[in-house]
Structure 1
Amino acid sequence: MTATDTAAPPEKRPARQGGGPWGTLVAIAFGVMMVALDGTIVAVANPAIGADLNATLAELQWVTHGYLLGLAVFLITAGKLGDRYGHRKMYMIGVVGFVAASVAIALSSGIVFLVAFRILQGLSGAVITPAAMGLLRASFPAHKLGRAFGVFGSLIGGATAAGPIAGGILVSTFGWQSVFYINVPVGLAAIVLGLWLLAPNRATDAASRFDLPGVILLSVAMFALVWALVEAPVVGWTHPETLVVLAVAAVFGVAFLLVEQRVADPLLPLGIFRSMSVSIGTVLMILMALGLMGSLFFVTFYLQGVHGLSPLQTGLQLLPLTATMAVCSTLAGRLMDAVGTRIPTAVGLVSAAAGLLLLSQLSPDTGTVFISAGFVLLGAGLSVVMTGATAAIIGNAPVAYVGVAAGVQQAAMQLGGSLGTAVLGAMMSVTIATTLPGHYTDAGLRAPSGEELTAMQSIVTQGGALIPDGASAAVAAATTRASNLAFMDGMHLAFLTAAAVMALAAGLSLLMKPAPRTEEPVMHI
């Protein structure tokens, strides 16, 4: 992995460097894991939250969506704030805000307040991650940046994997509030280690003025885009609400690009995308998240709805995927320090495509070994892609804009995850509506009418079956089998599509250009 600095020559490190490169990594580990953990741990707590606060299904969905929106909307702005005021300062502010929001969530007595504080928690998380990446770029010399970003990816992968399992234990033992209170000791550790190990705060772009019009335009555009991707699978892609919100996203997005070309100190300097590696790395990050989040979302329904596994058993079955990602990210970073990002990233995309292709052959009766083999290929491939794309974006962005580059990387990941669940979900839904009547007929059942099919569609898309009241055991079994086969049809198409996207991305990754290596640190903060 290599990096260039087009804005200024390498600078010498100040005399005091806190805990050094690996001390920096230790210091940010707790904050980064806290943000990643909260992305998945809450899913297990949602049923208990709903029962305790009398929340509807739609309200519970916003417990997750609110956090996602807070993250996506503020990531690039938070990265710019880190460049302007120093990444150490922004990291500490983010951790304090995240802990405070977590306590407020746990103390909430109503779902409206809980969702509002979840949004604030997401905003705080958006401050932490770009600042953490900026601190890594500051501390590690260019020839070790790949290793640093590999470990960074392992922290995120490990925390994401631990979320459902830790959430199940905490909720069943202490109640749903515990999944938020757990952030208090973790956050305190992050604060203490940050004060002890992180180098003095320095800004890389302190002279720039704050681009308020850019912040407003980008925030509205990102909010509208993520909102549309979240709501479209529920209300429909052609629903007036979806079309209006997408139009708002497009108008504000175009306005943002026009404004950024004219202001003296833009929020997002578009010149960073003149680097082929930065541009391609951003696209690869979107595609990587599309494959990861899209596959995880629907594989969970497959394991629980079709295979009948419990949430804990599902978490254990997913370990070959998540554990492989955690282990291979570090190995990928070391490899990229030695040979560069281009070839390992391409190989990782081919591995991910092979894993998705294998998973597209699943059946209702597929065994654990076959499923695990697909997960291992997918996890190994995606971990390499995540590390390579991160290195390409942040390692090749100018020093003064490292925070913005980190915000772009994280925003691309969030956008890709939303696209994965929305687009692949739409493909599944259409396929199920098309094939379900045929599977009913083949099972000797009456094909559902239009209204019945609409009622069944959402249930079947989640791996379930709509069993008629008073149905005999034979009818219930036939209905379940027909529904499962329709679900598999949709999942097969979604995974084949994701595999094709990964294969095309492998070719795109070969266009990334290696940058000259240097032994000097690329920046300081």
Structure 2
Amino acid sequence: MTDTAARPAADSAAPPPPPPPRGFRGGPWGTLVAIAFGVVMVALDGTIVAVANPDIARDLSASLAELQWVTHGYLLGLAVFLITSGKLGDRYGHRRVYLVGVVGFTLTSIGIALSGAVPVLVGFRILQGVFGATIAPAAMGLLRSNFPPHMLGRAFGVFGSILGGAMAAGPIVGGMLVSAFGWEAAFLINLPLGAVTVAAALWLIGPNRATDPASRLDIPGILLLSVAIFALVWALVEAPVVGWAHPETLAVLAVSLAFGAGFALWQARAADPLMPLGIFRLPALSIGVVLMVLTALGLMGSLFFVTFYLQGVRDLSPMQTGLQLLPLTLMMGVCGTPAGRVMDRFGTRVPTVAGLLTAAAGLFLLSRLSLDTGVVATSAGFLLLGIGLSLVMTGATAAMITAAPVSLAGVASGLQQTAMQLGGSLGTAVLGAVLSLVIVTTLPGHFADAGLGELSAAEAREMQSAVSQGGEVLGSAQGATAEAITRASNLAFLDGMHLAFGISAAVMVAAAVLAMFMKPQRHDTGSEVPVVHI
């Protein structure tokens, strides 16, 4: 393999002066306001759907596996299309792609609400994920191309605050809508939101402008990457169910590896590649990808079990659970804007490292949760985690997107979002396997300590699924025996959760060390990226 690098002229020269100020309509801040509506719509949808799942299960008689695909189907559509949609935005204009995404997301939401069967609903969810994948990269591309470099940190900070606020409001809004109107309202709310979003985009965003109009679509690259990501996400979703060593899991992982290798080889030879491999020679972008995967692995993987702890072990209601999580979601909304200002002044490395260490401290506190941990102690862990998550997302995202040339802003944003999705899926799968293994290992000991008799390994494996969700298998047991089984099950769950949070904290510390080497570069529209030849 031989490498040749075309060094951007912007690296050796001072950044170009910011463009002359424009009015609110068609200007940077008008663009930010317009895309905020789309971001809120997608963020609300994610958290509202979680609240609606029990009602969907009852109304459509969905099994647990079918209900999981209500979430997994959206994830597949989203992950597979993120990078491709970013390239479409670079090629045809982010304003145009953003509008297509919003309209498609709205129409598929209506289709979901009108679905009378689970397969139809899951099909629309997959399609909704495809359209949802166009919104975030297009929004980031619009920010990158409209804001001058010295204001990008502030823009990404405000963007992060809006996203965090929407996530904080989601469980509360979702609870009210589902309680008052049924699960269909969780999706029909996107109809008025979508109409307002389209109107705001048409009014506030300037004329459509492609940042890379001369490029051609890399159809072979799109197909190779899509199959590789689809197979990887499928394996991560199904492995916890069928087993990591199951032939189906191994075969799908092999398909992902083969198509991923084929994609890399093709990108090195393609005249107009979907994702030029040279962008990974930009330190801020390559390190940012790893940070996004590690952050999502630790944070999203751990948070997957928090609901089981709060509702299963602590016996909180869904509304009480949402209120307990408010310190986390509110900090994500509050800290984004200050983080952006810090980033404009000191660069992306400072807030990113500080965020990772803060998140590690929060995860460590959460690894000490017990059967009777109070609200204050639990909230302290979530508070630190929310602050850390906000700082990391603002810093690492900005580092990746500002490192790439403006002509590849959409691709860089799609790459950032894909890393987040894959990291989250990997974290859920890996930490879920850790949790299950610890439960099977420690449950017999807790049963023996409670005087419940000897529990065989086979019986522990049978109980593992229920215990992993913070529940217990009582059977016909009542009274003191039922209380002893519940306590033993909860203690085994806590053993697994403690280790999962401990691993997540260690991952955050390792990511903080890596972030110390992050030195973002800024490029103007005419910048090139290093070219890799194989």
**Structure 1 position 514, deviation (Å):** 4.5
| Structure 1 range deviating more: 295-304 or 8-17 | 8-17
**In the alignment, does 2:454 pair up with 1:474?**
no
Residues 292 and 419, structure 2, Cα contact 8 Å, conserved in 1: yes
TM-score (norm 1): 0.95
Counterpart code for 2:131: S
Residues 24 and 135, structure 1, Cα contact 8 Å, conserved in 2: yes
Q: How far apart in 2 are the matches of 1:357 and 1:129? A: 31
Map of 1:340 onto structure 2: 347
What number of residue pairs does the alignment pair up? 518
**Structure 1 position 163, deviation (Å):** 2.1
Map of 2:447 onto structure 1: 440
Residues 272 and 398, structure 1, Cα contact 8 Å, conserved in 2: no
**In the alignment, does 2:194 pair up with 1:187?**
yes
Map of 1:47 onto structure 2: 54
Q: State the SS of the aligned residue for 1:261.
A: helix
Counterpart code for 2:306: V
Q: 1:514 to 1:259 in 2, by over 3 A?
A: closer
Q: State the SS of the aligned residue for 1:428.
A: helix
The correspondence of residues 309-324 of structure 1 with structure 2, limited to 5 A, is: 309-324=316-331
Q: How far apart in 2 are the matches of 1:27 and 1:232? A: 40
**In the alignment, does 2:503 pair up with 1:500?**
no
**In the alignment, does 2:78 pair up with 1:71?**
yes
**Structure 1 position 19, deviation (Å):** 3.3
Q: State the SS of the aligned residue for 1:301.
A: helix
**In the alignment, does 2:323 pair up with 1:290?**
no
**In the alignment, does 2:180 pair up with 1:207?**
no
| Structure 1 range deviating more: 503-512 or 145-154 | 145-154
The correspondence of residues 218-257 of structure 1 with structure 2, limited to 5 A, is: 218-257=225-264
**Structure 1 position 43, deviation (Å):** 1.4
Counterpart code for 2:329: T
By relative contact order (CA 8 Å, sep 6+), the higher-ranking structure is 1
**Structure 1 position 24, deviation (Å):** 0.6
| Structure 1 range deviating more: 137-146 or 189-198 | 137-146
Residues 6 and 398, structure 1, Cα contact 8 Å, conserved in 2: no
Residues 11 and 521, structure 1, Cα contact 8 Å, conserved in 2: no
**In the alignment, does 2:518 pair up with 1:512?**
yes
Map of 2:532 onto structure 1: none
List structure 1 segments (4+ residues) > 6 angstroms apart after TM superposition.
Answer: 6-9, 14-17, 520-523
Q: Give structure 1 stretches of 5+ with no counterpart.
A: none
Counterpart code for 1:494: A
Counterpart code for 1:492: H
Q: How far apart in 1 are the matches of 2:12 and 2:232? A: 32
Q: How far apart in 2 are the matches of 1:500 and 1:56? A: 36
**Structure 1 position 161, deviation (Å):** 2.5
Map of 2:390 onto structure 1: 383
Q: How far apart in 1 are the matches of 2:10 and 2:387? A: 30
Q: How far apart in 1 are the matches of 2:17 and 2:409? A: 15
Map of 2:404 onto structure 1: 397
Q: How far apart in 2 are the matches of 1:498 and 1:15? A: 44
Q: 1:385 to 1:12 in 2, by over 3 A?
A: closer
Counterpart code for 1:488: L
Counterpart code for 1:249: S
Q: State the SS of the aligned residue for 2:272.
A: coil
Q: How far apart in 2 are the matches of 1:192 and 1:522? A: 32
**Structure 1 position 419, deviation (Å):** 1.3
Q: Give structure 2 stretches of 5+ with no counterpart.
A: 1-7, 528-534
Counterpart code for 2:517: L
**Structure 1 position 12, deviation (Å):** 8.1
Q: State the SS of the aligned residue for 2:335.
A: helix
Counterpart code for 2:491: L
Q: How far apart in 2 are the matches of 1:428 and 1:214? A: 37
TM-score (norm 2): 0.94
The correspondence of residues 129-144 of structure 1 with structure 2, limited to 5 A, is: 129-144=136-151
**Structure 1 position 447, deviation (Å):** 2.9
Task: State the identity %.
Answer: 68
Q: How far apart in 2 are the matches of 1:11 and 1:62? A: 49
**Structure 1 position 498, deviation (Å):** 0.5
Residues 11 and 522, structure 1, Cα contact 8 Å, conserved in 2: no
**In the alignment, does 2:287 pair up with 1:277?**
no
**Structure 1 position 5, deviation (Å):** 5.6
Q: Deviations over 1:320-360 (max 9, x none)?
A: 01101111111111110111111221111111111111111
Map of 2:458 onto structure 1: 451
Q: How far apart in 1 are the matches of 2:45 and 2:277? A: 32
Q: How far apart in 2 are the matches of 1:486 and 1:104? A: 42
**Structure 1 position 117, deviation (Å):** 0.5
**In the alignment, does 2:110 pair up with 1:103?**
yes
Residues 444 and 457, structure 2, Cα contact 8 Å, conserved in 1: no
